[in-house]
Structure 1
Amino acid sequence: MPIEEGKIVDGVVANITKFGAFVQLSGGKTGLVHISEIADTYIKDINSYLKEKQEVKVKILNIDKDGRINLSIKQAQEVKKSTRPVEIDWQQEFKKSQSGSFEDRLSRFMKESEEKLQEFMKNRESKRNGGYSRKGDFAQR
């Protein structure tokens, strides 16, 4: 099977380093999966994600002019989440917002606004104090 950019192929982890893992592809070629291309999360220790001789699916990102192959495990994984936007029935949403009298809608709006403002002020105050909610907390720690 020829090695081409963009293809997803099977491989076996041949060697693990601090900066990534070398994966043996079919045909005897070896490519590098950089640490940033192993998972979507921060990786401190590659050994917690991969083991030598482990079979993995990799996507061939590119092959440079010197023949080095750059691979990605995270891009080879199937996208499980739907990338399609959520359908919203705007007519239904409009009808919901129009239910009740003007006074009811105004009172609901005022209540929601007050809650949002209180949450905003609470977050702003905690950031201003370096994460502490009261001035006394800082002195006690």
Structure 2
Amino acid sequence: MLSEGMIIKGRVVRLEEYGAFVEVPLFPENPEDPQVVTGLCHVSEVDRDYVENIFAYLAEDQEVEVKVLNIKEDGKVDLSIKQADPDWEPEPTQPRRSKLDKDFDKRLRRFMHQSQMIQGEARRQRESRR
């Protein structure tokens, strides 16, 4: 039975700008079983590089190897061609930093430094009154 994480062969049955519909066997362990299910390989899951034109990468009736990413409760199947590649590794995600973030960090450091100085001065004054 088809399950998440499996890497199997499928056939592209339809191409759209947003992805490829790929027909995969419902029971990959039994090649004689004719039952198939169609899943979507989103354009972002076709190749490691940015895919501007999916029609330049894939063609209808083309055989592809796909990884089953998700099987939803409604029966929809999410597939990935790029993750089926044995050499594929997810790119490390780093938070995007903008100039506003840098300015915020600078202001926050300045505020923290000033507040520590004020707290230290208040502590010294409190101790000198004792």
TM-score with structure 1 length normalisation? 0.55
**Which letter maps to 1:34?**
H
Stretch deviating more after TM superposition (68-77 or 21-30): 21-30
Alignment partners' CA distance in 1, 2:88 and 2:79: 20
Sequence identity (%): 45
Which protein has the bigger strand share?
Answer: 2
Show structure 2 runs of 5+ residues with no match: 26-34, 90-130
- Give a deviation string over 1:114-140, Cα, whole Å, max 9, x none: xxxxxxxxxxxxxxxxxxxxxxxxxxx
Compared with structure 1, are the counterparts of its residues 45 and 80 closer, same or farther at alpha carbon in structure 2 (3 Å cutoff)?
closer
Report the aligned-residue RMSD. 1.3
Superposition pairs for residues 60-75 of structure 1, below 5 Å? 60-75=68-83
Provide, for residues 50-92 of structure 1, a one-character-per-residue CA deviation record: whole Å limited to 9, x for no partner: 00000000000000110100000000011179xxxxxxxxxxx
Do the aligned partners of 2:10 and 2:66 also contact (CA within 8 Å) in 1?
Answer: yes
| Distance in 2 separating the partners of 1:15 and 1:32 | 10
Query: Which structure's relative contact order is higher, taking Cα pairs within 8 Å and 6+ residues apart?
Result: 2
Aligned residues: 80
1:1-141 paired onto structure 2 within 5 Å? 2-26=1-25, 27-79=35-87
- With normalisation by structure 2, the TM-score equals 0.59
Structure 1 residue runs without a partner (length 5+) = 82-141
Which consecutive aligned stretches of 4+ in structure 1 deviate over 2 angstroms post-superposition? Answer: none
Q: Report the AA paired with residue 67 of structure 1.
A: G
